[in-house]
A and B are shown apart, each in its own frame.
Chain A
Amino acid sequence: MRFHILGTETSPISRTDWAIVKRIFAVLLGILVSTTILDGQQTETGTDADTQTIKALMRRIEQLEAADKQLQARVEQLEKVQQALAQPSITQLPTHLSVSSEAPANEQSAALEPEKSDADETLLNIRGFGDYSFHGDTQKGTSTSFTFGQIDLFITSHLSDRFRFLTDLVFERGRGNSYEEDLERVLLEYRYNDHLKLAVGRYHTAIGYYNLAFRHSGWFQTATGRPFLFLFEDEGGILPTHNVGVSASGLIPSGNVGLHYIAEIGNGRASRPGFQSVQNFVDENHHKSLNLALFARPDAVPGLQVGFSVYRDVLAPAELARIGETILAGYAALARPRFEWLNEALVIRHAPRGLPHVFDTPGFYTQISRRFGSYRPYLRYQYVNASDDEPVFLSVYNTPVGLQHGPSVGLRYDATESVAIKLQYDYTALRHQQAISGLALQLGFAF
């Protein structure tokens, strides 16, 4: 296809050149003929001969002029053909551009975009993120280890001007010290305009800030890992960080306030043993999880995002009464290239039916960092406090929570544009147990 296009680009130009050559040749021929005639004229005498010669020259000039007009008409015709061939591909240009990210364009592609083809439309764009750590802590039963973290292949494909497919294919720690692959995010998006984007599939639940801002890329994160509150389900997290369903999001006309919304309906988190946490194919009950998030990005403070979200679901554990789950989250995050200050707080409320009281689990974290050249020191303090008789975390999610709080301090060094080295110390105080100190050295990279 490309050769064909190049052919259509270059063909009219070469024909034009050819036409010019023909014109020059015709003029030279005319001169030659006229010179011959003039030479012959020198041997003749008399007025009749002069008149005949002049007539012959005039005829020749008329012939040359007619030939010239024909050539001009032909050139114009070819130029029109060239424009007609170029026009359809120009209107298709944005679709092609969507899959290229900062790729330098050569002169040909910039001047005349190639024709669209089905093969181009379904091209995949792949970026990768990964991390590798050496870590250890004082918790009994653990040992220092080298660990390959998550290897995330972020794959996108622009199916049309408004449709996009994307997925996070993650290779991560599985059972028995083995790897397992997981499609952490699989979405088909339809972007109608800035005010409405619809997505179906498996998505990251819009609870708070951290879950959407960093997703599965450790490389984007300043610290070596996620806060307690935002750990993924299969890492011992207590939030439904993934969900399968439908999502709508967009910008709310609000001037300089920059208000956005996200509304989600999905299967929610599984609560029965033997089921995967994320209900990819079958929901264990008819009740669907609902989540509504609102946030503002005011123009007055670049990098600031302030928002809250409300998540509601009903858990149906086996042999237990149903449990209402409500998650309220609020945050203020200032994320600039050189400075970052993240603050999030949330409450997870579990309300078992038939019991007179509810169980609230509050939690928060604050994280601040500033970049000095290639170095970025950071500090995080986090807190979560679940009561000992909390009915869901341990018995349903198999995740001991209790009280955990403490600081983390670290230094991130960006060795190159795509490789970062992080050193982090964690201190975690626990209820009924000894505090844990941990140290981690991590190599994060993007590829």
Chain B
Amino acid sequence: MPPMPALLVSLAVILLSELSPPGIVHAAARPPRTRNTPRQALTIIVNKSNPVENLSFAELRKIFLGERSRWPNGHRVIVAMMEPGYAERKTILRDVYRMTETEYRDYFLQGTYTGDIPASPKTLSSPAILRKFVFNAPGAIGYLLASDVDASVRVVRIDGRLPSDVEYKLQIDSD
């Protein structure tokens, strides 16, 4: 094959692979869950003063990506992230951000530089501290294992579903 057509064909293949819906690629890449693996849902929590009770997954993604800066009640959105190494953070990076740690860092570095993103997420060192943080900050949103949630914070439905529902999207792989 001559070089130019070969180059064009290669570019076309790359483009097609890149333009395929990310969810499909992601689902195929996810390791299979065994029957004995306990189901661990990742709960999205907000401050109790936040009137939001339900978010679509697309809205959740925009909030975590920093594309939404205010809640309906006027409070500024503050995303609370766990420190690297926690399974909860891995799940959020994989399912919501669809990024690696490095990509996540670069994304916020560039976003704050260009002005698209008003502020980077806040990183917290343990589930208990994250829960306290969300309890204290009116505009905070974060995530916890369902077992770490208590009455001090509000659980937000995602696409109308609670973590206990079967079709709830955010699940932690115990690999």
Q: Do A and B come from one complex?
A: yes
State the A residues within 8 Å of B (CB).
90-91, 93-94, 97-107, 110-113, 127, 154, 156, 158, 161, 164, 166, 189, 191, 193-194, 212-213, 215, 217, 220, 256, 299, 301-302, 334, 336-339, 341, 368, 370, 414, 417, 446
Cβ A104 vs Cβ B83 within 8 A: yes
Min CB–CB distance B6 → chain A (angstroms):
14
13 A-B interface contacts by CB (under 8 A): A94-B76, A102-B105, A104-B125, A105-B123, A107-B125, A107-B126, A161-B76, A191-B118, A194-B70, A212-B114, A220-B110, A341-B18, A368-B11
Which chain B residue has the least Cβ–Cβ distance from A113? Answer: B136
Cβ B14 vs Cβ A256 within 8 A: no
Contact for B123 among A103, A127, A414, CB less than 8 A: A103
Cβ A156 vs Cβ B112 within 8 A: yes
Cβ A164 vs Cβ B118 within 8 A: yes
Which chain A residue has the least Cβ–Cβ distance from B129? Answer: A110
Which chain A residue has the least Cβ–Cβ distance from B138? Answer: A91
B122 at the interface (CB under 8 A from A): yes
Min CB–CB distance B133 → chain A (angstroms):
4
Cβ B115 vs Cβ A337 within 8 A: no
B169 at the interface (CB under 8 A from A): no
Shortest 7 CB-CB contacts between residues of A and residues of B = A337-B103, A101-B120, A110-B129, A94-B76, A339-B18, A93-B137, A98-B119
Complex CA gap A64/B170 in Å reads: 56
B106 at the interface (CB under 8 A from A): yes
Complex CA gap A299/B103 in Å reads: 19
Contact for A417 among B102, B107, B124, B137, CB less than 8 A: B102
Cβ A94 vs Cβ B14 within 8 A: no
Which A residues are CB-close (under 8 A) to B54? none
Complex CA gap A301/B140 in Å reads: 28
Contact for A370 among B14, B78, B102, CB less than 8 A: B14
Cβ B99 vs Cβ A101 within 8 A: no
B19 at the interface (CB under 8 A from A): yes
Complex CA gap A110/B128 in Å reads: 10
Which A residues are CB-close (under 8 A) to B164? none
Which chain A residue has the least Cβ–Cβ distance from B131? Answer: A110
Cβ A215 vs Cβ B113 within 8 A: yes
Which B residues are CB-close (under 8 A) to A338? 18, 103
Cβ A104 vs Cβ B138 within 8 A: no
- Contacts A102-B121, A341-B18 aside, 9 further interface pairs with beta carbons under 8 A come to A91-B138, A93-B136, A102-B120, A127-B113, A191-B69, A302-B22, A336-B18, A337-B100, A446-B109
Contact for A189 among B68, B115, B121, CB less than 8 A: B115
